[in-house]
Structure 1
Amino acid sequence: MSITSGESPVLCVNKMEADLSGFNIDAPRWDQCTFLGRVKHFFNITDPRTVLVPERELDWAKVMVEKSRMGVVPPGTQVEQLLYAKKLYDSAFHPDTGDKMNVIGRMSFQVPGGMIITGFMLQFYRWNLGARTMPAVIFWQWVNQSFNALVNYTNRNAASPTSVRQMALSYITATTTAVATAVGMNMLTKRAPPLVGRWVPFAAVAAANCVNIPMMRQQELIQGICVKDGNHNEIGHSRRAAAIGITQVVISRITMAAPGMILLPVIMERLEKLRFMKKVKVLHAPLQVLLSGCFLIFMVPVACGLFPQKCELPVSYLEPELQDAIRAKYGELVPYVYFNKGL
């Protein structure tokens, strides 16, 4: 499979012979200090088509990125080939470890995975506004939170090691708490107006994200997240940095789900009143899944772009003991630290 990544806005590519001298493959194509630049970046790497790229092409992309970093790319390589390789690399490999991420946990899978789960979750509530069965509520929330837990774990800051036991405990705690939240809200809104009932899935998802993400990444909060200086040298671990990163991810995930899960029930309620929609009830569920995908294809990069993935934090905001350790070793040469907040 081949995905055209388009021309670089900062580098002119000679189709016959590209000059790669001075080319830095890790330099962002768009300004990551601006919201628009980050949205463009995430539109590129969360492209759902990358999910279908064969494994051998992903492996080729990793090799090309590594060779470019060493300055030993094959003769005749064009800049646009390297940009395409970097797009595949960023979409499929973890930024901390360089390991290939599982397909379902990648942010590029958020559109196909999220649209199916969100569409059917909302459709279930539409069908069962008058009689929501508890087993069905539990099932769909469990599916959604299991998916979220896998995404949260896959996109964590991988510099904080997590054992299998810790991961299993985090998953059980996160999904159980999330499902309990959804069930409780479902019971509270049984007598609410129909439209309010249709918003229960979003309210449950928003509340569950506040539990699921911190639980799946609790080791970062306990042990601290790896922080580095401007030259990518590790200089310590900070719990405060972890709290900031996780909070930003929670806000991003809720923002990602909000438009589709808030507006779709209103849209479907209007559409259901149309005469031709009453005649094709069998198409209501596929339509809702498709509309969920339309929202997500824009909201995934927009939500991911709310905050920089590489966060900058003043040393003065870190824990006092870490501040002292940094200043004892570097003096005032390191005013800021940097860390990967995850997605």
Structure 2
Amino acid sequence: MGTVVLSVDAELGWGFHDQKDPPADRLANARQGWQTLVSLCDTYRIDATWAVVGHLLLDDCDNCHATHPTPPGWFDHERGDDAMPASLRYGDGLVEALQDATANHDIGSHTFSHVEFGDSETTREMARSEVAAGIELARERGIEMQSFVFPRNNVGHLDALAAYGIECYRGVNPATKRNDVWDGPVGKLAQATLVRRPPPLVEPTVDSFGLVNIPASLHLFSFEGQARDLVEPVFGDPMVKQAKLGIDAARERDGVFHMWLHPNSITEQRDVDRLREIFNYLDRRRGRTSLSVKTMAEVAAETRAQATESKTSPVEGT
């Protein structure tokens, strides 16, 4: 049976707090984008993995990170004249909306404060503290985090995930790295206008740390800006086309198609329309064919079971 996975980088303002010129439109619509995505998932029965920045689980914070081992100045945006608004630092009901949703979401970790684990300056102590802080805050709300998404897909310190009971993570598919010819401007334009080349399906695997790596197939907001403005009116939304091709490929090949996005990318009506068309297509294809929608945690459990079965199955002929 084919499987479609949707993972969500749920971060509000934390995805940009270390940037000098963050995108104003995405920050202004971060909370609304989150709420819109929750609603769409309920409407189309999409169980997703929401990787939540741990700080969003706090109700308030008064210089409470003095002992948190992050670089000097990492939390400066929480105070002073240039402080990030509280509405972007705290969830304030948004995580509860995931818990109360009709869809059965998998609430995982996106670190505590959006530290890039693959950065050369991120120490082992820092990574472990980022994992531990998020898990502790989640448990206080009755959430057991099993899934992990690395900020900016910068993979590193896998031992820290294993040490605190994380079961799986979203890895980087080599076929979608930026050095791939199809991921450059010309390649994307060709896919949007001429080529019917589906995004890559992925194969979840158990790594050397005992974690299940579930690589990504398609970022649903990777064709934006002027390129989208020019292409979409003539050829239609290229990301909708790519998502449909991926869904069909998963069904036909019994593979795993893993889509992902940030809620703060939902800034205008055409973004909502994009997701609505993709989700509607997925729901219809699921209803008529052998295709399922699963969370990262569910895929990880199945992958582990299959790996265990393959080890214990007797060799043919013995």
Which of 1 and 2 has greater Rg? 1
**Higher relative contact order, chain-length normalized (CA < 8 Å, sep 6+):** 2
More strand per residue: 2
TM-score in terms of structure 1 length: 0.27
More helix per residue: 1
TM-score in terms of structure 2 length: 0.28
